[in-house]
Amino acid sequence: MAGAIDLSALKARSEAANRPAPPPPPGGQPAGGAFVVDVSEASFQADVLERSLQVPVLVDLWAEWCGPCKQLSPVLERLAHAAGGAWILAKVDVDANPRIAQAFGAQSIPMVVAVAGGQPVDAFSGAQPEPQVREWIAALLDAVRDRMPAVAQAEAAARGGAPAEPVEEPEDPRFTAAEDALEQGDYAAAEAAYREILNVEPANEQAVAALAQVRFLARAEAVDPDAVAKADAAPDDVDAQLAAADAEIAMDGVEAAFSRLVSTVGRTAGDDRDRVREHLVGLFELFAADDARVTAARRALARVLF
């Protein structure tokens, strides 16, 4: 289903309504403190597209006159609250917001569409039994958990009832070996060490962040001192834009690097667009998820993508 639906018209209507709303913090509640939100055409970009950059958003297409909807919606709401923010339920009244139903190609309701990373990734129609809904949601989370750290954070918090205070843990010899290699400037060995950790623990956030740092340091050390000037002279050269963004990050020009790649995403397509977007997302991983520069760049990226 990914890529098969054009959500650009909804994006345009959202922007025109000028109702900005931040995405939920990793592992935390979305704006308003609820895991269930009522979505309109005006709030679609903020409440669905932008939030789906952090955790999956399940869009529940329903109507007051729909009997099966009244069976399914309470199940979804109960599961959303129990999930504690690992996913968000976005409820859409199709009578009040027909363009959203049209954008998703809804032939009947109830219909539930999962959106992750700003794209529809799966869907089902009809009032499914709760065990089947649980199984569908579990498969969805399994598919996105590795690339959406906020999912695992929310799940851990939900299991514990509340985020636990950090506890100092014994030094992990696997990380010690990777850090030793990094101190010696052996980026290949450090990367291999972190990848070995992730092969065993794909959701290890420390290793994910460290791997991103190592890969960037290796690229930054080899970057051309004239990379920015060369990229400015060749705006259509994707490789030049990627190298320039690395150079700008290395020189603490974080906002300039993010802006460069967001603009490049906006004027490319196909494989080139995917390369630039993936590079930009990799640069996001160098910073805290709540860094204001990352948050602003994610919003800008969502606008050019949708």
CB 84 within 8 A of CB 90: no
Same domain, 156 and 186: no
pLDDT in the model for residue 170: 62
Q: Tell me what the mean pLDDT of segment 242-265 comes to.
A: 92
Same domain, 156 and 197: no
Residue 64, φ and ψ in degrees, nearest 5: -60, -35
Same domain, 144 and 94: yes
Domain with 98, as residue range(s), is 8-160
CATH number of residue 44's parent domain: 3.40.30.10
- Residue 279 covered by a domain: yes
Indicate whether this model's pTM tops 0.85. Answer: no
- Residue 2 covered by a domain: no
Helix (H, G, I), strand (E, B) or coil at 126: coil
Same domain, 20 and 129: yes
pLDDT in tens, 136-157: 999 999 988 888 888 888 888 7
Helix (H, G, I), strand (E, B) or coil at 205: helix
pLDDT in the model for residue 246: 92
CB 76 within 8 A of CB 132: no
pLDDT in tens, 184-227: 888 899 899 998 998 988 888 888 888 888 888 888 888 888 99
> Of the candidates 164, 168, 197, 163, which has an alpha carbon nearest to the alpha carbon of residue 84?
163
- Residue 67 covered by a domain: yes
Q: Of 115, 138, 160, at which residue does a domain stop?
A: 160
Please list the active-site residues: 66, 69
Judge whether residue 118 has pLDDT over 70: yes
Could you tell me the two tokens for 287? 């910073």
Helix (H, G, I), strand (E, B) or coil at 15: helix
Number of Cβ atoms within 10 Å of the Cβ of 274: 12
- Residue 255 covered by a domain: yes
Number of domains in the chain: 2
pLDDT in tens, 19-59: 333 344 333 343 334 799 999 988 898 889 888 999 999 99
Same domain, 55 and 144: yes
